[in-house]
Each structure stands twice: as structure tokens, then as C-alpha cells.
Chain A
Amino acid sequence: MPNDNEILVRAGDLRKSYGEHEAVRGVDFEIRRGEAFGFLGANGAGKSTTMRMIGCVSQPTGGELEVFGRDPHTQGAEIRARLGVVPQDNTLDGMLTVFENLVVYAGYFGIKKKVAKAKAAELLEFVQLSSRAKDQVNELSGGMQRRLAIARSLINEPELVILDEPTTGLDPQARHLVWERLFQLKQRGVSILLTTHYMDEAEQLCDRLVVMDEGRIIASGSPRELIDTHVTKEVVELRFGPAHTTELAELALTLNGIGAQIEALPDKILVYTNDADDTNAALEARDIRPTSTLARRATLEDVFLRLTGRALVEDEA
């Protein structure tokens, strides 16, 4: 085992620009061995670019980056040998079968064929694709392809697995299956780094996460810490019949002084509060009557909303 038992990835003022466009504008973070670390943010926030830099397939244009204590500039291949990568678009080999995808990929890591075959069979079992071993990749559903990509990323027994939006575009059942597998990996002590724009995903899987917006990290901590630091305990969601956007913004003004903060969304108003009952009482006192009221615990989504002032767009553009 390597001695650097603590920090696997260290970034300092890490930057990446494409011409005029600055995709990543100076981010700092450390990822430790054994933890599940998440990058949360909307599309275009710079998550994938950061992942690609860590995966040594994209060259930083500024700042510092160390992976396994090595420099991606000069030791990219050595670093990649110890990483497992699940890119957003899977990049499976469409000319090969499911089983061949794993065995051939193992070859890129210099793994002997006999070992590779045993490992491939074991991993297919792990992602529940054993019965599809001889199928062509494009015969698989989206969820199966993603699971195969996850199996492939584990073929070299990586010290760190990087997953870029592992469940984007999957149906709910497929998402849960992926989560379950990632959770098992975590239990086994594999370090995981993932990006997501799903709050529930981040809350379920990540020990620690950073919230990215427009190329910067705007908050970091455990999911619980983020919620405690940035939002109130509870949130009351108010809907006013068909009223939306502008009308809601106007309505929001009449709520002034209720709760800790008011956020008008296109379809509802959120009242951040530490006591939902108090808030409801205050609303009644002002004779404000929403068509529906929902009191719930604050989530990461609320953190993101408060920090950026806008909702996360849930699906790919």
C-alpha cells in the first residue's frame, strides 16, 4: 500500500480555460482516501472539466493539481493506471461484446488475459450483467451500459473511482441499482469521486461535497453541514393556484418578515424557517391563503438554491 494514506487528490487554484471561456476559475479541494467525495452543480458549472483534469485527460491551464502525489503533466499514464473512470457518455467499445469490453480494457492496463477473464466474470456478476456477457454493447439499455461502464472502471482495482454523473438519463429503477452498487463499493473502502446534479444522489452517497457554480466552488462540507450552515431546518412550500413567475414574485413581497428567507420560484414560493408551525400561523395572521402548503425538512437542493438563487435544471440540455 502507498504511504500517502491521506490525500489522493489535491487541487490549488486549479483553472481551465478554452480560449476566452473559463470553465474552471480557480478551485481548491482535497480528496482523502476512503471517502466518497461529490461535486454538485448545474450543467456547465465546471464539474466535468474538473473530473477530466483529475483523470489526466485534460490539461489544466493554471494552478496546481496532484493526483496520488504525482503531477498529471508528466505522469499522466502512471496516474491513469491507478484510476477507474466512468465518463458521462460511457465510451464503451461498440465493436466488442460486453465480456470483451472488460477483457480488452484490462489489456490496456497490462493485465494478463487469464487474470482479466476471471476478473471480468466477477465484475459482471457484481453489476448483474452475467447473463448478457455475449451481447453486443448497443443491445443493452442505458442503465445496463452504465453498469458495464462501472464494471469496466473497476477492472484494474483502482484506488480512486471517478464517476461523471453516474445516473443522469437513467430511469428510477436503474438509478437505484447504480446507487446500490456504488454504496457497496464505498463499504469495501474504495474511494469514490462523483459529480451529480441530483441532490438525493449527493445526499445518499457523499461523505463530503463541494457545490460548484460558474467554475467556482461556492460551498463545501458534508451534506448535513451544508444544510446546517446555509439553510434553516425547515422549508414551507407555498403554491397559489395557477399563479407563477411574476405573480409569485409580487406575492413574495407580501410575505416580508415571515421566516428567515423567502425564495420565489417559477411555480412556488419557499419560506425558509426554523419552525414551520410558527410560519403557518404567521401566514394565517396576515390572511395569506395559499392553495397548498407543504412543510418539509431542508435539503441540499435548498442549499443550492440559496447559494445560487436558482433551481437546478435536472436534465441534460
Chain B
Amino acid sequence: MSVIAYGAARASLKSSGALLNRNWVAMRRAWILVISGAVESLLFLFAFGFGVGALVGDITLPDGTTVSYTAYVAPAILANAAMMGVLAETSINVFAKFKWMKVYDGILATPLRPWDVALGEVWWALIRGGTYIGAFVVVMGLFGLLDSWWSLLAVPACVFIALAFAGIGLTLATVFRDWPDFDWMNAVVFAMFLFGGTFTPVEAYPAFAQPIVYIMPLYHGIELVRGLSLGQLGPMMLVHVAYLMALCVTGMWIAQKRLAKALYK
């Protein structure tokens, strides 16, 4: 039976924009939450970049170039910030709206369709994630961590990370049953942050662990942002982009399917 046909398998900009407007109206009284999310990533940058970076000094990359450790870690923390902002918005907030506050129950009785909801939530997550990214890049620039003009491309690169994790977050929000499931998510996210190539090149890991790292969405995000901010380009970047985009589309597709199944019963 096709639930999709019921939701009409197309989303419109106007309809998803109406959801965007809803989130904007709901959030404008709670901007402090958004700001607190950005602060967390900046704290990471100070702790690891400047604290640990001062001890480590310069490191030599697998291709032989030498960079300061702070410049090496900063893009990874930027990538992490892009992930965290978006993931919090899509997974926890969407879950609360879906299961707790039943916000979508009312919305899907209107002309809006599950695809519109999924798309609207992704737009919103991009806006929220974008504010983190913007703030972070400005701070990186102030501390002289942006080595070339290429590094400005770190911003659009982060948009791909945000898209991927928006898709993943939406899927988790619609698949998770209860709050304890979020503990699992946090554990996985933290593992990605620690081992996704944030602090050391993947090549430093034992051979058996490397494939696991390659699966991690954050790894591809980090590599993309780091390559751009250090001015090291390569064909692998297209692979990273493709992987992130695939996650975004798949995540949205699963999420709208789950929404339709739960609410068009």
C-alpha cells in the first residue's frame, strides 16, 4: 500500500516554508538555547586547539606537509560543531514535536505533506547549524587559523555536513521510541568525535579500525572541511560530498515515510 501517494510524493518550497515559519515563531523566544550550542564548540576549540596544540606544536601529515596542530584540529571541531547543531535540532527537537507535543498531528491535517515537514525541518536545521558554523568560522579567522582563501569554502563544506546530519537526525527522531535511545545516539556521536579523524589522521589507527572510520559520516565531513581549510584539494572530496548528500536524501526519505506511517494510520 502506498503511503507515499497519500502524502503526495512531492514537497513544495512554499509548504516547507510554512513549517520553517512555525519553527521560527516557536523559537524566537528561546534564542538562548541556540547560543549555548555554539558556545560548546568554541570551548572545545580552546581546550583542544590551544591547550593541547601548545604542547603538540606542529605535526606532519601523511603527505609530508607540516601544519600547526591547532590548524589541524580546528576544522575538525568546526565539522563537529556543524554536526552537533543540526543533530540536536533534528533528532531531539523533532522527536519532541513528533512524539510528545504531537505538533505534526495537527500539521498533517492541513495541505502539508510528510515531505513538506521533512524538508521544512531540514531547512530549519540548516539555519540553526549555519549560525553555529558562521560564528565558528569568524572565531577561527580571528585566531589566524584560516590558512588560505580556500578556507572560506569550509563554510559550504559544513553545509554538506549539516545536510547529512539533518537527514540522519530526522530518521533517528522518527525511529527512536523513547529518550533512552538518545543515549545510544550520544555514545555514537561521541565515538565519531573522538575517532573520526578529529585529533589524529586516520592512517595512525590500526588497519582493522580504519574501515570503521571510513563509514562514519563525521569522518567524511572532517576530511572535507580540513582539506579545504588547509588548502589541500583532491578527488576524494567528491566522494565525501557524494556520501554526505546520499545520507541527507536517504534520511529525509526514511523520515517522511515514518511520519506518514505513524500519522496517516
Interface residues of A (CB under 8 A from B): 18, 55-59, 72-74, 76-78, 80-81, 83, 85, 87, 89-96, 100, 103-105, 107-110
A96 touches B6 (CB 8 A): no
Question: Most chain-B CB neighbours within 10 Å: which of A56, A108, A110?
Answer: A108
Q: How many contacts between A and B, using CB within 8 angstroms? A: 85
A59 touches B113 (CB 8 A): no
Q: Which residues of A contact B97 (CB under 8 A)?
A: 95
Q: Which residues of A contact B108 (CB under 8 A)?
A: 57
B43 at the A interface (CB under 8 A): no
Extra contacts, 7 of them, besides A58-B264, A87-B109, A104-B25 (Cβ < 8 A), are A18-B265, A57-B264, A73-B5, A80-B110, A93-B26, A95-B97, A110-B18
Q: Which residues of A contact B109 (CB under 8 A)?
A: 55, 57, 80, 83, 85, 87, 91
Interface residues of B (CB under 8 A from A): 1, 3, 5-8, 14-15, 18-19, 21-22, 25-26, 97, 101-103, 105-113, 263-265
B110 touches A108 (CB 8 A): yes
Give the residue name and chain of the B residue nearest to A82 (CB).
Answer: B111
B8 touches A96 (CB 8 A): no
- Say yes or no: A108-B105 contact (C-beta < 8 A), given A58-B264, A58-B265, A76-B7: no
- Say yes or no: A80-B111 contact (C-beta < 8 A), given A57-B264, A104-B21: yes
CA distance A57 to B14 in the complex (A): 21
- Say yes or no: A105-B110 contact (C-beta < 8 A), given A18-B265, A59-B1, A96-B26: yes
A109 touches B111 (CB 8 A): yes
B3 touches A59 (CB 8 A): yes
Q: Which residues of A contact B3 (CB under 8 A)?
A: 59
Give the residue name and chain of the B residue nearest to A56 (CB).
Answer: B6
A94 touches B101 (CB 8 A): yes
Question: Most chain-A CB neighbours within 10 Å: which of B14, B107, B110, B112?
Answer: B110
Q: Which residues of A contact B112 (CB under 8 A)?
A: 77, 108
CA distance A17 to B109 in the complex (A): 21
B111 touches A78 (CB 8 A): yes
Q: Which residues of A contact B1 (CB under 8 A)?
A: 59
- Can you list 29 A-B pairs, Cβ within 8 angstroms, ordered by A? A18-B265, A55-B109, A56-B6, A57-B263, A57-B264, A59-B264, A76-B8, A77-B112, A80-B111, A81-B111, A87-B106, A89-B102, A89-B105, A91-B102, A91-B109, A93-B101, A93-B103, A94-B101, A95-B103, A100-B26, A103-B25, A104-B18, A104-B25, A108-B19, A108-B110, A109-B111, A110-B15, A110-B18, A110-B111
CA distance A73 to B7 in the complex (A): 9
For the complex formed, measure the closest distance between the CB of A81 and the CB atoms of chain B, giving whole angstroms.
4
